Structure 1
Amino acid sequence: MRSPATDGTVSVQLARFVVDALRRSGVEPGRVARLPDLGPEVLGNDLARVSTASALAVWEQLTLAGPGTAIGALITDEAPIGTFGLWDYLITTGPSLRETLRQAVEYNAVIGDAAQEKLLVEEDGRTFNIRHATGSWGPDVVEAIDFFVLGLFLTRSRAATGRPLVPLRVSVTHGASGRHRQLTEFFGTTRIDFGAPYNSITFHDNDVRAPLPRAQPGLDRLLVRHAELTLAAARPALLWQDRFRMALDSAFREGAVSLEHVAQRLAVSPRTLQRRLGEHGTTWREEVESVRQEHALELLRTTDLPLRSVAARVGFSDVRALRRAVRRWEGRPPRDIRSTAGAGAGAGAGAGAGEPPATSWGTGPSPRACRP
Structure 2
Amino acid sequence: MTHPVTAGTKPVGVWRTPEESLSDASHLLTIAHDSSAVARLRPAKINFYLKVANRLGFNSEEVLAGSGVTPENLTDPRHLIEVADYIHIVARMHQLCDSPSLAFTLGEQLTLGDLGILGYTVMTSPTSAEATKLWFQYISVFFGGLVGFACELVGDQLLLSYLPDSRIPDALLQFSIEERICCDMALQRLIGIPEFPVDRLTLTYSQPRHVDCYRDLIPCPIDFDSKRNTMLLSSNALAIPLKGADPETHQHCLKLLTSAHVFANAGSTFPYRVRAILHGNPQLGIDDVARMLHCTPRTLNRRLEKDSLNFSQIQAEIRLEVVETLLSTTDLDFRAIARQAGFADARSLRRFFKTRTGMTLQQFRDDCARNHARMSAGV
**TM-score tier after normalising by the smaller chain length:** 0.5 to 0.7
Given residue 67 of structure 2, which amino acid in structure 1 is its aligned partner? L
Distance 1:203 1:2 in 2: 16
Partner of 2:67: 35
* 2:130 is equivalent to residue 103 of structure 1: no
Given residue 199 of structure 1, which amino acid in structure 2 is its aligned partner? N
1:72-108 deviation digits (Å, cap 9, x = unpaired): 1331101111212223334433222122212222234
CA RMSD of aligned residues (A): 3.5
Partner of 1:230: 260
User: 1:30 Cα deviation (Å)?
Assistant: 5.2
Counterpart of 2:227 in 1: which secondary structure?
coil
User: 1:5 Cα deviation (Å)?
Assistant: 11
1:165-202 deviation digits (Å, cap 9, x = unpaired): 35222222111111011221122x15222122222233
User: 1:158 Cα deviation (Å)?
Assistant: 2.7
**Within 5 Å, which residues of 2 pair with 1:73-92?**
73-92=104-123
Q: Is the 8 A contact 2:199 2:234 kept in 1?
A: yes
Partner of 2:244: 214
Given residue 200 of structure 2, which amino acid in structure 1 is its aligned partner? R
User: 1:15 Cα deviation (Å)?
Assistant: 1.4
Q: Is the 8 A contact 2:149 2:162 kept in 1?
A: yes
Taking a change above 3 Å as real, the CA distance of residues 217 and 53 of structure 1, as seen in their structure-2 partners, is same
* 2:228 is equivalent to residue 198 of structure 1: yes
Which of 91, 108, 117 aligns to 1:60? It is: 91
Counterpart of 1:36 in 2: which secondary structure?
coil
User: 1:21 Cα deviation (Å)?
Assistant: 3.1
TM-score normalized by structure 2?
A: 0.54
Partner of 1:368: none
1:324-354 deviation digits (Å, cap 9, x = unpaired): xxxxxxxxxxxxxxxxxxxxxxxxxxxxxxx
Q: Is the 8 A contact 1:69 1:140 kept in 2?
A: no
Which is greater in Rg? 1
Counterpart of 2:207 in 1: which secondary structure?
coil
1:89-132 deviation digits (Å, cap 9, x = unpaired): 34433222122212222234422558x54211223353233221
**Within 5 Å, which residues of 2 pair with 1:78-227?**
78-111=109-142, 116-124=146-154, 126-136=156-166, 137-165=168-196, 167-187=198-218, 189-217=219-247, 219-227=249-257
**Within 5 Å, which residues of 2 pair with 1:353-372?**
none
Distance 2:176 2:253 in 1: 26
Given residue 139 of structure 1, which amino acid in structure 2 is its aligned partner? D
Percent identical pairs in the alignment equals 13
User: 1:66 Cα deviation (Å)?
Assistant: 5.9
TM-score normalized by structure 1?
A: 0.55
Given residue 35 of structure 1, which amino acid in structure 2 is its aligned partner? S
Distance 1:184 1:9 in 2: 33
Distance 1:5 1:158 in 2: 24
Q: Is the 8 A contact 1:48 1:235 kept in 2?
A: no
Q: Is the 8 A contact 1:168 1:204 kept in 2?
A: yes
1:29-65 deviation digits (Å, cap 9, x = unpaired): 658324332x221112223221121111111122235
Distance 2:151 2:105 in 1: 23
Taking a change above 3 Å as real, the CA distance of residues 208 and 41 of structure 1, as seen in their structure-2 partners, is same
Q: Is the 8 A contact 2:147 2:176 kept in 1?
A: no
Unpaired stretches in structure 2, ≥5 consecutive residues = 1-31, 267-302, 308-379
Distance 2:216 2:182 in 1: 12
Q: Is the 8 A contact 1:184 1:190 kept in 2?
A: yes
Q: Is the 8 A contact 2:157 2:232 kept in 1?
A: yes
Taking a change above 3 Å as real, the CA distance of residues 141 and 92 of structure 1, as seen in their structure-2 partners, is farther
Unpaired stretches in structure 1, ≥5 consecutive residues = 237-267, 273-372
Partner of 2:287: none
Q: Is the 8 A contact 2:40 2:264 kept in 1?
A: no
